[in-house]
């Protein structure tokens, strides 16, 4: 869902990664579909790499988006231009244990703006994520099962050696 969605410092809105260019990357604005070259010196952040500070751990942005999505029953969030107190109260409902010292109102505005942009273009698909997570879990379980089989074989060989002596 958030894999190829980028935020570029100095430019408003979100961008979709298109390809690698000679002097940077080629991106397309989600709003007006215009393509541009983002230079290698620009501060570019992939939304999937962003996390929100909480009192216990950092929560990935996709999980924050999912919490907003569930709170709004699939609808849009409040306007990111609401008052600071409204934004803080809303974010507290969505993520009750967010770190109030390290998460600023400007961060909350960005998160809500990004969520509403992705919602507007129907790019919030949490079903894909669940399928990916299931596949990853299945792969991990298969790998663990293979490791267990590999560990059992050497034990059998050692037992056979003892019985042969």
Report domain 5-47's class.
mainly beta
Q: What CA–CA distances, in Å, run from 65 to 8, 42, 51, 119?
A: 19, 25, 11, 10
- Tens-binned pLDDT, residue by residue, of the chain (165 aa): 788 999 999 998 999 999 998 889 999 999 999 999 999 899 999 999 999 999 999 999 999 999 999 999 889 999 999 999 999 999 999 999 999 999 999 999 999 999 999 999 999 887 765 555 555 555 655 655 555 555 555 555 555 555 555
DSSP at 89: H
Distances (CA, A) of 87 to 69, 102, 108, 109: 16, 15, 7, 7
Specify the 3-state DSSP secondary structure of 97: coil
Q: Where are the domains of the chain?
A: 5-47, 50-120
Cβ atoms within 10 Å of 108's Cβ, excluding its own: 22
CATH annotation of 50-120:
1.10.10.1650
């Amino acid at each position: 869902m958030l894999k190829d969605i980028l935020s570029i410092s100095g430019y408003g809105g979100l961008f979709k990664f298109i390809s690698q260019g000679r002097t940077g990357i080629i991106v397309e604005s989600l709003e007006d579909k215009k393509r541009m070259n983002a230079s290698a010196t620009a501060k570019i952040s992939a939304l999937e790499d962003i996390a929100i500070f909480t009192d216990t751990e950092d929560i990935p942005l996709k999980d924050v988006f999912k919490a907003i999505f569930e709170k709004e029953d699939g609808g849009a969030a409040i306007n990111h231009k609401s008052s600071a107190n409204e934004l803080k109260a809303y974010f507290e409902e969505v993520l009750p244990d967010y770190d109030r010292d390290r998460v600023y109102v400007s961060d909350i505005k960005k998160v809500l703006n990004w969520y509403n942009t992705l919602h507007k273009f129907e790019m919030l698909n949490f079903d894909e994520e669940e399928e990916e997570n299931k596949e990853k879990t299945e792969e991990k379980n298969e790998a663990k099962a293979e490791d267990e089989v590999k560990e059992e074989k050497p034990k059998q060989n050692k037992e056979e050696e003892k019985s042969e002596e």
